Amino acid sequence: MQWLGIGAVVAADVALIGAVLHLLVGWPGPVAAVAAGASLAVPLGLIAGDSSLLAPHGGRLLVHVLSTAGFSLVVAAVYVVIVLGLGRAPSSAADRQMLGLSMLAAARGA
């Protein structure tokens, strides 16, 4: 059951990151395709839960996955509120590139 939770959290987190990136910098283009691809994490989690080697480690990994997903949710919310809340969305390619690189730096800092 923990591996199902891991798959669901990973799928939701990837879909959230894709949606925020699309909203802020216009990449990736087809957000629905990213969300559909991310949903593959759920059956992969079920398969991993059936493995006798991986099943005992589900609880520990679930804690780390929830922590990472929570951090990405907070970072995404801050970027959306600051960038779009202040009313100045990135307009040029250089602005979008700088915003994308700063998001990458925030993710790397985690």
Question: What's the sign of the alpha-carbon dihedral 88, 89, 95, 99?
Answer: positive
pLDDT digits (tens, 9 = 90+) for 60-105: 999 999 999 999 999 999 999 988 888 777 888 888 888 888 888 8
Q: Is 76 exposed, middle or buried (0-12, 13-18, 19+ CB in 10 A)?
A: buried
Spatial separation of the C-alpha atoms in residues 10 and 41, rounded to whole Å? 6
Range of the domain at 40: 2-109
What letter would DSSP give residue 29? S
Across 39-52, average pLDDT: 96
Across 30-54, average pLDDT: 96
Task: Say what the pLDDT of residue 110 is.
Answer: 62
| pTM, 2 dp | 0.89
Overall number of domains in the chain? 1
Q: What is the mean pLDDT of the chain?
A: 91
